[in-house]
Amino acid sequence: MVKLNCMPEKSPIIEVAKKVCPAVITIVITRDLPKIEGFYFFPFSGQRFIVPKFNKKREKTKIGGGSGFIVSPDGYIITSSHVVADPKSDYTIIFEPKKKYPAKVISRDPINDVAILKINAKNLPYLELGDSEKIELGQTVIAVGNALGEFHDTISTGVVSGLSRYITAYSGLTRQAARLKGLIQTDAAINPGNSGGPLVDIEGKAIGVNTAMVMGAQNIGFAIPINYAKKDLEEVKKYGKIRRPFLGVRYVLLDKMIAEKNRLPVDYGALIVRETLGESAVVKGSTADRAGLKEYDIILECNGEKITVKNPLANILQKLKIGKEIKLKVLREGKKIILKAKLEEKK
């Protein structure tokens, strides 16, 4: 007679899930929209078109959602910037159906796709932040979040498939594009709704912020390294906001295709140019204005770093300190010149 062993599984993933899930929250996005009181029916060429009929009253309407995770017992939360990108929306944090808190977006960092939120609560479960500089290719990771906006505390396991990835991601809510670099690639499933949730290691420490997936691929997801978010969190706690250097130019990043199409002398750099009529390519009174930058200048290097599509000016600037004097190598009317500028804080 064979006796089955019914002892519970001793997987380390189980312990990680018990430790992490209480600190992972759901973010519900709502907005005041006109109330629908019925529908109009319009027959046209044998077809019927249905058009909603609105009244003057407005009501809170859910327009989206995402995930996040608590990083301090007094209610600081890390999520993705694209999850809370709409300044006109309201954000509610849900722990469980009867436990909800209104959330304040303290600061957004669209360059790194990180946002810091705050709720008024104490003694909350929270995640310890790891060190993304120590991540190794092939190590076990776990993605946690609110999959598809309805399956709370969903975990998926995998490994670190790649490091220092560069992607262009598009937000499903705002339709805006973001160029993200230095990302962690993983085959742990990151589904819609998981954005903003943590990517944790086998010790349950957050090493990344789930941010994007490749549509149509088999388990190719990406996470922002947690060290980017740690820097933002430190600044929020110290200054009440994320502080960023500001140069004051509008520009287009050059590549080979743009250079050939416009017969430009270089295929890299930041071409200073206005995006729409009525605006200035160089913000009046800004650092760039005082440094002498002009429209149609091409900034080739910033403090010795070459500006490319994969290393844009914005990413170089965010590594520099406010008040620091920088050197810009500029191509102007076929001649290379050096300009000096003292960085200001972005308002």
- Whose CA is closest to 207, among 292, 132, 110, 148? 132
Q: What is the DSSP string of 155-184?
A: EEEEEEEEEEEEEEEE-TTT--EEEEEEEE
Eight-state DSSP code of residue 120: S
Burial class (CB in 10 A: 0-12, 13-18, 19+), 25: buried
The phi and psi torsions of 232 (rounded to 5 degrees) equal -65, -40
Note the helical H segments in the chain.
Answer: 12-20, 226-239, 256-261, 287-291, 313-318
- Is 113 annotated in the active site? yes
- Whose CA is closest to 228, among 97, 131, 339? 131
* CA distances, 131 to each of 46, 97, 138, 151, 294 (Å): 63, 33, 16, 28, 41
Q: Which of 80, 89, 107, 113 is catalytic?
A: 113
Q: Which of 67, 187, 195, 201 is catalytic?
A: 195
Cα 48 from chain centre: 42
As given in the structure block, the two tokens for residue 40 are 């109009």
- Is 82 annotated in the active site? yes
- Is 152 annotated in the active site? no
Q: Which residues contact 318 (CB under 8 A, 6 or more apart)?
A: 111, 112, 244, 245
SS3 call for 239 = helix
Rounded distance between C-alpha atoms, residue 195 and residue 110, angstroms: 14
- Whose CA is closest to 205, among 11, 15, 2, 3? 15
As given in the structure block, the two tokens for residue 322 are 């406010």
Rounded distance between C-alpha atoms, residue 335 and residue 327, angstroms: 16
Q: What is the DSSP string of 278-323?
A: TS-SB-TTSHHHHHT--TT-EEEEETTEEP-SSS-HHHHHHTSPTT
Q: Which of 67, 80, 81, 82 is catalytic?
A: 82
- Whose CA is closest to 313, among 328, 323, 325, 292? 328
Q: Report, as residue numbers or ranges, the catalytic residues.
A: 82, 113, 195
